[in-house]
Structure 1
Amino acid sequence: MTQITPLILAALLAACSKPAEKTEDIRPVRAIVLKSSDVDVDDQFSGEVRARVESRLGFRVGGKIVSRKVDVGTTVKRGQVLMQLDPQDLKLSQAQALASLRAAETNRDFARAELKRYQDLKTQNFVSQTVLDSKESAYKAAQATVESAQAAYRGQSNQAGYSSLVADIDGVVTSVTAEVGQVVAAGTPVVSVAKTNEKEVVIGVPENQVDKLRKIEDVKVRLWADPQRSVPGKIREVSPIADPATRTYTFKVTIPQTLADAKLGMTAVVEFSSKTAQPQIKVPLTALFHEKGASSVWVVENGIVKLVPVTVAGAAGNDIVLASGVREGQTVVTAGVHVLKPGQKVKILGAEAAK
């Protein structure tokens, strides 16, 4: 009896246990709904409004600043005095050069009179030709000294005039880097003046988009302060080297004078756009599945994927342009393509419209 009991218990336990249920293999994936579009480029970059021409002005001579006639934001006209140096030393040098000129003219006049007297004596054969030649040489040397003194005097006169720093363009003062009482060297920038009637927007473009964007002609600019209004812009300059800090390439986009609200330093947005001749279907590079040298995509229909061969027409940034194999409205897997198999059931984590 004791030997039968374990067998009965084992049979009862086997009868009570149920077979394990099979779980269906459903893979989570990400997907997009295909959409054809003729938009080839649609990018925006923010930048700063700057003056196309900005002059950093400095004195052409060194000295001590005795007068500052402008502040930051002052509107100036061409030829207007901005700063002045102490002219005393320059005037003394000018007076010295003038005195040297007068002395040279006196010596020249004396040499000319001597030459005339000896010419008269030579006609009467009272002096030899050698003596007359020496007087002619002395007169020519005196005349050359006068010309040298005249040049020195003109140079010192110019130096005296350089004690006043004047604006070379019509514009607005954007910076002042020196004050009254400060001694500055020749050529040191002390005032910056920006030309206000020519403005542009400066932006930084990533290196992978430089070649594409430099060819686009449809460029529009809008101010952050007035986002509802946009004006046409034109790419004026593309930097040949990247900025060492941001590693982006500087684009300078000219804006028309009709955008009078654009003040220097304002934030602006530059929009680049272009279209293709025919609508295109684009998918992310991660959507392609490569097998045996052929390219395919996984198309989702009723929660089940199937592998569809496609023809790649080219690249568009980080996307791939498909020439055939799929159509607008189909759902294509964009992440997880290497773990799928035909007939696999999937759960879409996110279905978005393709750009």
Structure 2
Amino acid sequence: MVAVRGAGSARWAGTALAVLFPFVLAGCGVKEEEPVPARPVRVAAVSFTDAHAERSFTGIVVPRTEVQAGFRVGGRIATRLVEVGDRVKPGQVLARLDSTDLELALKGAEARLAQAEAQATQTAANLKRYTPLLASGTVSQAQFDQVKAASDAAAAQKREAESSLAIARNQRSYSALTLEQGGVITAVLADAGQTVSEGQTVLRIATDQGREVAIDVAEGDVARLTVGGAATIALWADGDIALTGTLREITPVADPASRTFRLRVTLPADAPDTVRLGLTARVSFPDANSPALALLPSAALFQQGDKPAVWVLAPSKDRVQLRPVEVAAYRPDGVAVKAGLKEGELVVTAGAHRLDANLRVRVWDGGLP
């Protein structure tokens, strides 16, 4: 009986240990490893396009020529006949000086000419009388030479007086400010009652010789542009206006402060009047020799040593691969890549520094994790 009870107890104890063993192991901290969830990544498809091969620059619409108009003589401005924004015609009087002093100077020149003419007439008559007397020996050669010299001097003084009178007449006409070219008044720098010096700027006028866009180009880009090349011009104020211009001028010397070159792009002659002076314009130059580029967000770039790289989604869609790339340009709107990627590949565009080639990933669908 005792043996039987012992065997039954042994069987019962073995069964209990088999049942309790997993719980004992769990109590000791031994757990099965749970799978690491796939990390969501945001991706974008690679797309190469020639549109990024254009070089675009921002500039200002300016007149091709601008005149700094001023009087050719000094004096007090009596009246100003134009205002800013007025359109003027060639030969139109824009302002006038007080011509009182100029009129007096003209009268003085006329009086000096009359005196010189009288003197020239008298000396010429004396010379005419002395000529036959010299031939008959009545007067000496020295006396005749003295009379002839006086006649020559009087004639020279007459010519000088005539020139002075012409100058005085011109100066009187200079009291009216006119231009040989038409245009638009862009600035008024002196007003009636103000005394101005000779040549001092009174009005600034944009002539009717055409409008242009002035842009500043860095020295790395100016070497790729040539005078006579075509350009596309778009206005920021009116996106519906698209014009085709021509690169007319490249300054030969860079600005010492900004180290940029000033370029002038001519607008077409039929440009609408809405293209006003001072408007902001964007000028684009096509580059047929530039390769197609893929524009990626700056956050997609990963530094592999000293070379740039990006994470590309593997064909299995659950891993990423680090791919070296060749960057064409770092732009305000992203990174322009010209080599290292294929059309249609998916590139991780955010969190590139947190990825690993062995990490499981999934394409983020935009929802919460």
Length-normalised TM-score, structure 2: 0.75
Question: What is aligned with 1:306?
Answer: 321
Question: What is aligned with 2:175?
Answer: 163
Question: What is aligned with 2:277?
Answer: 265
In the alignment, is residue 132 of structure 1 matched against residue 149 of structure 2?
A: no
**Paired positions, count:** 335
Question: What is aligned with 2:200?
Answer: 188
In the alignment, is residue 82 of structure 1 matched against residue 97 of structure 2?
A: no
Question: What is aligned with 1:95?
Answer: 107
Partners of 2:162 and 2:228 in 1: CA distance: 59
Question: What is aligned with 1:37?
Answer: 49
User: Between Structure 1 and Structure 2, whose CA radius of gyration is higher?
Assistant: 2
Question: What is aligned with 1:3?
Answer: none
Partners of 2:311 and 2:72 in 1: CA distance: 73
Match of 1:328 among 317, 338, 343: 343
- Greater shift, 36-45 or 56-65, is seen at 36-45
Question: Following TM superposition, by how much is the alpha carbon of 1:140 offset from its aligned partner in structure 2, in angstroms?
Answer: 1.5
In the alignment, is residue 241 of structure 1 matched against residue 254 of structure 2?
A: yes
Q: 1:260 to 1:276 in 2, by over 3 A?
A: closer
Larger strand proportion of the pair: 1
Residue by residue over 1:303-330, the C-alpha shift from the partner in whole angstroms, topping out at 9 and shown as x without a partner, is: 31224566x5x735653421xx542111
Partners of 2:230 and 2:44 in 1: CA distance: 29
- Alpha carbons 1:41, 1:272 under 8 Å: kept: no
In the alignment, is residue 252 of structure 1 matched against residue 264 of structure 2?
A: yes
Q: 1:262 to 1:52 in 2, by over 3 A?
A: farther
- Alpha carbons 1:34, 1:281 under 8 Å: kept: no
Q: CA RMSD in A?
A: 3.8
- Alpha carbons 2:53, 2:292 under 8 Å: kept: no
Code of the aligned partner of 2:266: T
Question: Following TM superposition, by how much is the alpha carbon of 1:241 offset from its aligned partner in structure 2, in angstroms?
Answer: 3.1
Partners of 1:191 and 1:22 in 2: CA distance: 83
Question: Following TM superposition, by how much is the alpha carbon of 1:63 offset from its aligned partner in structure 2, in angstroms?
Answer: 0.9
Partners of 2:166 and 2:113 in 1: CA distance: 10
Residue by residue over 1:149-184, the C-alpha shift from the partner in whole angstroms, topping out at 9 and shown as x without a partner, is: 222221122111111111221112222222222211
Code of the aligned partner of 1:235: L
Q: Secondary structure at the match of 1:222?
A: strand
- Greater shift, 341-350 or 182-191, is seen at 341-350
State the percentage of identical aligned residues.
34
Partners of 1:82 and 1:174 in 2: CA distance: 13
- Greater shift, 209-218 or 196-205, is seen at 209-218
- Alpha carbons 1:213, 1:272 under 8 Å: kept: no
Code of the aligned partner of 2:131: Q
Q: 1:309 to 1:66 in 2, by over 3 A?
A: closer
Partners of 2:36 and 2:130 in 1: CA distance: 130
Partners of 2:172 and 2:271 in 1: CA distance: 43
Q: 1:184 to 1:169 in 2, by over 3 A?
A: same
Match of 2:126 among 114, 119, 132: 114
Q: 1:51 to 1:35 in 2, by over 3 A?
A: same
Q: 1:242 to 1:102 in 2, by over 3 A?
A: same
Q: 1:316 to 1:347 in 2, by over 3 A?
A: same
Question: Following TM superposition, by how much is the alpha carbon of 1:265 offset from its aligned partner in structure 2, in angstroms?
Answer: 3.2
- Alpha carbons 2:250, 2:263 under 8 Å: kept: yes
- Greater shift, 249-258 or 327-336, is seen at 327-336
Code of the aligned partner of 1:97: A
Q: Secondary structure at the match of 2:111?
A: helix
- Runs (5+) with no aligned partner, structure 2: 1-22
Question: Following TM superposition, by how much is the alpha carbon of 1:200 offset from its aligned partner in structure 2, in angstroms?
Answer: 1.7
> Equivalent residues in 2 for 1:288-307 (5 A)?
290=304, 298-301=311-314, 302-307=317-322
In the alignment, is residue 57 of structure 1 matched against residue 57 of structure 2?
A: no
Length-normalised TM-score, structure 1: 0.77
Partners of 2:289 and 2:75 in 1: CA distance: 66
- Greater shift, 130-139 or 79-88, is seen at 130-139
In the alignment, is residue 343 of structure 1 matched against residue 343 of structure 2?
A: no
> Equivalent residues in 2 for 1:202-213 (5 A)?
202-205=214-217, 209-212=221-224
In the alignment, is residue 315 of structure 1 matched against residue 332 of structure 2?
A: no
Partners of 1:215 and 1:94 in 2: CA distance: 51
- Alpha carbons 1:171, 1:196 under 8 Å: kept: yes
Q: 1:279 to 1:156 in 2, by over 3 A?
A: closer
- Alpha carbons 1:111, 1:138 under 8 Å: kept: yes
- Alpha carbons 1:290, 1:296 under 8 Å: kept: yes
* Larger relative contact order (Cα-Cα within 8 Å, sequence gap ≥ 6): 1
Q: 1:348 to 1:252 in 2, by over 3 A?
A: farther
Question: What is aligned with 1:5?
Answer: none
Question: Following TM superposition, by how much is the alpha carbon of 1:121 offset from its aligned partner in structure 2, in angstroms?
Answer: 0.9
In the alignment, is residue 154 of structure 1 matched against residue 169 of structure 2?
A: no
- Runs (5+) with no aligned partner, structure 1: 1-10
Code of the aligned partner of 2:71: F
- Alpha carbons 1:223, 1:262 under 8 Å: kept: no
